[in-house]
């Protein structure tokens, strides 16, 4: 069976001008990613700002075209298969970080949630209304919320509405880009639980992107760590957190402040990258405590343990 | 030791079309020199308004509506705007969440860094430049001369926050108010900034009011913690005690809500319900509609501060047995 979502050597290059008169230089936002997400699986994607995780997410839902490589859904190329274009909303949906800008402020929540159903004329009016009510119930919103507008909602309620809307057409894959990052802790926990309930109930597949490793570890079956446009480690969540192999993954884990004052964390954090690594070199070189001469040649991903991939000479 | 900062029943409110919104309601605590006091709470709990209130900077239509604040024995709440201005940036400094918006984008870093030195310390330009270089080195910025000539957009987020800290330290303040100073930063950069701030508190006896929503940051950075909910300080505890056993049900709820590394696929226990709007606060204890231990009394009477253990405070009727303050 083909994977629900598959990236095959996906690259995305932007051309950026550093000044009004300077020439545009290529920036490799995504520099060759291979990743397959199985049906019913949750794959978490972590990395720091600018690592390319959001660009990857946007390519998974066809908001951005890859510069090269393929994005496949159920084995169909998102950009080259005619039938995908039509079916795309039924295949994949996205939940964004800020539910205020992703919901139309002039539409009631029921209208927003039902918009896709109306556009595709799914069933008749009554059945669509029933479906909207069912969707709202699934995300823990009550029927009286249906007629309200986004500004009348709290951040948590808005994100629930955005999730309900994403599920309207029964997509198999939901791509979530920092969906709980803008929420307060107590509300964040409510929304995380909803994601988990929906997965169990509907057998959803998630590509779950966050900079918060605790959130990702909580929800994911496998976790991919991204750095400078590449995957540097991919492993089952337990293995990644208990036995991280890549120096960058270790760096990230060591930097997370532990919510327990009894745990004294080691001082000293990884330096910021001040210069770029040379052409063809592992991009972590300027920050890496283990870097050596052989790192001038970036290694390919290799399987260090069953199902545990890492891209490092030293790991 | 005398406290450096003392708040007594400090309150601040906003006049709104829907009536008076009590953003900060009767907050009292002391802050000693060298102490890092964490102020924790969710958005809208009043932690930022409180910190602005200490500086006399609450924007209209907000105002300090009651109580008093003291700094080094002098009453802040009785000072004129002029006296406060002399204090701000000199003895009390502040750093913000987003250094990009706090820095002027069309001024070189050096000019902005030198401004308070010229203003408060009366240094001449050459002395100010020397002091700026010294400050940039203290906050761990490499190549300080290049940084002085740079515009804010040429620096990374972590570097900008270091510049903000350098600016705050310029006049040798005794109190630093840090409002979510690492929230916009990546974790590895966050760790560097936190270590820098902790070091400053330990080495110079700088007192810090550290505002954050991140309990991990609190655990690793603060000595004492105050938890705010809907304008009230509901718990004050030393950090170890707070994480070992929180006294207030709201604090307990926050702790239980946290997904932790290694807590895979377990259900989290969120705090039920949502934070009430400031214009429609519940009677009695503001937390009662969300509290799993709510009693009749909680709906009617505002809980006073109880001290069930030495050094610990909780505004919760569950601790009424512990004797009233």
Domain at A82, CATH number: 3.40.50.300
Task: Please indicate, yes or no, if residue A75 is contained in any of the structural domains.
Answer: yes
3-state helix, strand, coil in chain A (%, to 5): 35, 25, 40
- From B170, B193, B220, the end of a domain falls on B170
Position B259 confidence tier, pLDDT thresholds 50, 70, 90: confident
What is the average pLDDT value for chain B, to the nearest integer?
91
Out of B156, B243, B244, the one facing A272 most closely (by C-beta) is B156
Task: Please indicate, yes or no, if residue B96 is contained in any of the structural domains.
Answer: no
Same domain, yes or no: A190 and A299 = no
Same domain, yes or no: B142 and B32 = no
Residue B248 to residue B291: CA distance in whole angstroms: 10
Task: Please indicate, yes or no, if residue A217 is contained in any of the structural domains.
Answer: yes
- From A191, A208, A242, the end of a domain falls on A242
Task: Please indicate, yes or no, if residue B97 is contained in any of the structural domains.
Answer: no
- pLDDT for A157-191, tens place per residue? 999 999 999 999 999 999 999 999 888 888 899 99
Same domain, yes or no: B182 and B297 = yes
> Which pLDDT score, from 0 to 100, does residue B275 have?
86
Collect all residues of chain B within an 8 Å Cβ-Cβ radius of residue A189.
Answer: 256-259, 268-271
Same domain, yes or no: B112 and B256 = no
Tell me the residue range of the domain where B186 lies.
Answer: 5-91+171-322
Q: Does A82 touch chain B (CB under 8 A)?
A: no
- pLDDT for A237-269, tens place per residue? 999 999 999 999 999 999 999 999 988 887 776
> Which pLDDT score, from 0 to 100, does residue B323 have?
45
> Which pLDDT score, from 0 to 100, does residue A16 have?
83
Same domain, yes or no: A183 and A221 = yes
For chain B, the straight-line distance linking the first and the last C-alpha, in angstroms and rounded, comes to 21
The CA–CA distances, whole Å, from A252 to A233, A245, B157, B196 equal 12, 12, 17, 18
Same domain, yes or no: A281 and A220 = no
Q: Largest Cα–Cα distance of chain B, in whole Å?
A: 67
Q: Does A242 touch chain B (CB under 8 A)?
A: yes
- pLDDT for A103-116, tens place per residue? 999 999 999 999 99
Distance from CA of B166 to the nearest CA of A (A): 18
Same domain, yes or no: B82 and B201 = yes
Position A1 confidence tier, pLDDT thresholds 50, 70, 90: low
Task: Please indicate, yes or no, if residue A56 is contained in any of the structural domains.
Answer: yes
Count how many domains chain B has.
2
Q: Does B186 touch chain A (CB under 8 A)?
A: yes
> Which pLDDT score, from 0 to 100, does residue A270 have?
67
> Which pLDDT score, from 0 to 100, does residue B325 have?
41
Q: Which of A85, A20, A11 is nearest to A52 (CA)?
A: A11
CB atoms A259 and B218 under 8 Å: yes
Position A99 confidence tier, pLDDT thresholds 50, 70, 90: confident
> Which pLDDT score, from 0 to 100, does residue A244 have?
96
**Three state DSSP letters for chain B:** CCCCEEEEEEEEEEEECCEEEEEEEEEEEEECCCCEEEEECCCCCCHHHHHHHHCCCCCCCEEEEEEEEEECCEEHHHCCHHHHHHHECCCEEEECCCHHHHCCCCCCHHHHHHHHHHHHCCCCHHHHHHHHHHHHHHCCCCCHHHHHHCCHHHCCHHHHHHHHHHHHHCCCCCEEEEECCCCCCCHHHHHHHHHHHHHHHHHHCCEEEEEECCHHHHHHHCCEEEEEECCEEEEEEEHHHHHHCCCCHHHHHHHHHCCCCCCCCCCCCCCCCCCCCHHHCCCCCCCHHHCCCCCHHHHHCCCCCECCCCCCEECCHHHHHHCEC
Tell me the residue range of the domain where A184 lies.
Answer: 5-104+172-242
Task: Please indicate, yes or no, if residue A158 is contained in any of the structural domains.
Answer: no
Same domain, yes or no: B61 and B152 = no
The DSSP output letter for A51 is S
Count how many domains chain A has.
2
Same domain, yes or no: A238 and A315 = no
Task: Please indicate, yes or no, if residue A113 is contained in any of the structural domains.
Answer: no
Same domain, yes or no: A228 and A282 = no
Same domain, yes or no: B158 and B202 = no
Same domain, yes or no: B165 and B176 = no
Q: Does B183 touch chain A (CB under 8 A)?
A: no
Least confident interval from A271-285, B117-131, B167-181: A271-285
Same domain, yes or no: B165 and B289 = no
Same domain, yes or no: B26 and B160 = no
Same domain, yes or no: A273 and A200 = no
Same domain, yes or no: A235 and A293 = no
Position B222 confidence tier, pLDDT thresholds 50, 70, 90: very high
Residue B212 to residue B43: CA distance in whole angstroms: 10
ipTM value for the complex? 0.85
- Residue A164 dihedral angles phi and psi, to the nearest 5°: -60, -40
* Pairing state between β B62-71 and B74-75: antiparallel
For residue A33, say if its preceding peptide bond is cis, omega within 30 degrees of 0.
no
Pairwise pLDDT comparison (A1 vs B65), residue with the higher score: B65
Nearest chain A residue (CA) to B253: A186
Same domain, yes or no: A191 and A299 = no
Same domain, yes or no: A296 and A194 = no
Same domain, yes or no: A289 and A180 = no
Q: What is the pTM of this model?
A: 0.89
- From B117, B138, B170, the end of a domain falls on B170
Same domain, yes or no: B160 and B297 = no
- pLDDT for B20-54, tens place per residue? 899 999 999 999 999 999 999 988 899 999 999 99
Q: Does A268 touch chain B (CB under 8 A)?
A: yes
Q: Which of B59, B39, B24 is nearest to B181 (CA)?
A: B39
Task: Please indicate, yes or no, if residue A58 is contained in any of the structural domains.
Answer: yes
Does B77 score more than 60 pLDDT? yes
Mutate to test the interface with A, among B188, B199, B215 (most CBs of A within 10 A): B188
Task: Please indicate, yes or no, if residue A164 is contained in any of the structural domains.
Answer: no
Task: Please indicate, yes or no, if residue B87 is contained in any of the structural domains.
Answer: yes
Collect all residues of chain B within an 8 Å Cβ-Cβ radius of residue A156.
Answer: 274
Indicate which CATH number applies to the domain containing B9.
3.40.50.300
Place of tokens 């820095």: B103
Same domain, yes or no: B72 and B127 = no
- From B170, B188, B215, the end of a domain falls on B170
- How many residues belong to chain A? 315
Same domain, yes or no: A251 and A228 = no
Task: Please indicate, yes or no, if residue A49 is contained in any of the structural domains.
Answer: yes
Out of B42, B190, B259, the one facing A255 most closely (by C-beta) is B190
Least confident interval from A256-270, B207-221, B237-251: A256-270
Count of A-B CB contacts under 8 Å: 136
Residue B116 to residue B112: CA distance in whole angstroms: 8
Q: Is B244 left (phi over 0), alpha (psi -120 to 50) or beta?
A: alpha
Same domain, yes or no: B286 and B210 = yes
Mutate to test the interface with B, among A255, A257, A267, A274 (most CBs of B within 10 A): A257
Same domain, yes or no: A182 and A65 = yes
């Amino acid at each position: 069976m083909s994977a629900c979502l598959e990236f095959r050597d996906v690259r995305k290059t932007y051309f950026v001008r550093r000044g009004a008169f300077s020439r545009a230089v290529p920036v490799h936002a995504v520099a060759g990613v291979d990743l397959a997400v199985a049906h019913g699986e949750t794959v978490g994607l972590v990395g720091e700002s600018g690592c390319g995780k959001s660009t990857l997410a946007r390519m998974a839902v066809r908001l951005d075209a890859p510069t090269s490589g393929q994005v496949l859904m159920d084995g169909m190329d998102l950009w080259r298969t005619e039938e995908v274009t039509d079916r795309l909303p039924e295949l994949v949906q996205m939940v964004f970080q800020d539910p205020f800008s992703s919901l139309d402020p002039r539409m009631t929540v029921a209208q927003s949630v039902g918009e896709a159903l109306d556009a595709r004329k799914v069933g008749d009016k009554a059945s669509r209304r029933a479906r909207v009510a069912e969707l709202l119930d699934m995300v823990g919103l009550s029927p009286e919320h249906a007629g309200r507008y986004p500004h009348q909602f709290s951040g948590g309620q808005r994100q629930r509405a955005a999730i309900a809307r994403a599920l309207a057409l029964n997509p198999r894959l939901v791509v979530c880009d920092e969906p709980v990052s803008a929420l307060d802790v107590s509300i964040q926990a409510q929304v995380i639980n909803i994601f988990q309930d929906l997965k169990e109930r509907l057998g959803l597949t998630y590509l779950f992107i966050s900079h918060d490793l605790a959130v990702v570890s909580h929800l994911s079956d496998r976790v991919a760590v991204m750095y400078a446009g590449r995957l540097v480690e991919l492993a089952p969540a337990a293995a990644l957190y208990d036995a991280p192999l890549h120096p960058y993954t270790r760096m990230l884990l060591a930097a997370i402040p532990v919510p327990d004052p009894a745990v004294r964390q080691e001082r000293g954090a990884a330096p910021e990258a001040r210069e770029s690594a040379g052409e063809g070199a592992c991009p972590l070189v300027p920050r890496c405590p283990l870097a050596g001469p052989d790192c001038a040649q970036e290694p390919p991903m290799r399987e260090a343990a069953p199902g545990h991939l890492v891209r490092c000479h030293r790991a | 030791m005398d406290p450096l900062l003392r708040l007594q029943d400090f309150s601040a409110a906003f006049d709104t079309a829907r009536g008076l919104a009590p953003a900060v309601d009767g907050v009292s605590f002391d802050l000693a020199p060298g102490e890092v006091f964490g102020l924790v709470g969710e958005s809208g709990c009043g932690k930022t308004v409180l910190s602005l209130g200490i500086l006399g900077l609450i924007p209209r239509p907000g105002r300090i509506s009651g109580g008093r604040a003291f700094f080094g024995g002098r009453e802040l709440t009785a000072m004129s705007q002029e006296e406060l201005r002399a204090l701000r940036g000199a003895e009390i400094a502040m750093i913000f969440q987003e250094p990009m918006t706090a820095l002027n984008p069309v001024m070189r870093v050096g000019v902005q860094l030198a401004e308070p030195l010229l203003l408060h310390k009366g240094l001449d330009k050459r002395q100010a430049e020397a002091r700026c270089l010294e400050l940039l080195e203290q906050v761990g910025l490499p190549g300080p001369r290049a940084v002085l000539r740079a515009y804010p957009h040429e620096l990374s987020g972590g570097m900008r926050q270091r510049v903000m800290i350098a600016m705050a330290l310029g006049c040798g303040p005794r109190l630093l108010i840090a409002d979510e100073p690492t929230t916009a930063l990546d974790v590895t950069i966050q760790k560097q900034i936190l270590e820098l701030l902790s070091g400053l508190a330990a080495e110079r006896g700088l007192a810090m009011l550290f505002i954050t929503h991140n309990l991990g940051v609190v655990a690793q950075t603060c000595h004492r913690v105050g938890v705010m909910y809907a304008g009230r300080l509901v718990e004050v505890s030393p950090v170890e005690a707070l994480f070992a056993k929180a006294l207030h049900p709201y604090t307990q709820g926050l702790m239980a809500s946290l997904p932790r590394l290694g807590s895979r696929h377990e259900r989290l226990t969120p705090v039920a319900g949502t934070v009430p709007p400031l214009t429609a606060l519940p009677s009695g204890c503001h937390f009662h509609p969300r509290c799993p231990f709510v009693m009749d009394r909680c709906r009617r009477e505002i809980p006073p501060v109880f001290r069930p253990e030495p050094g610990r405070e909780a505004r919760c009727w569950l601790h009424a047995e512990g004797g009233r303050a």
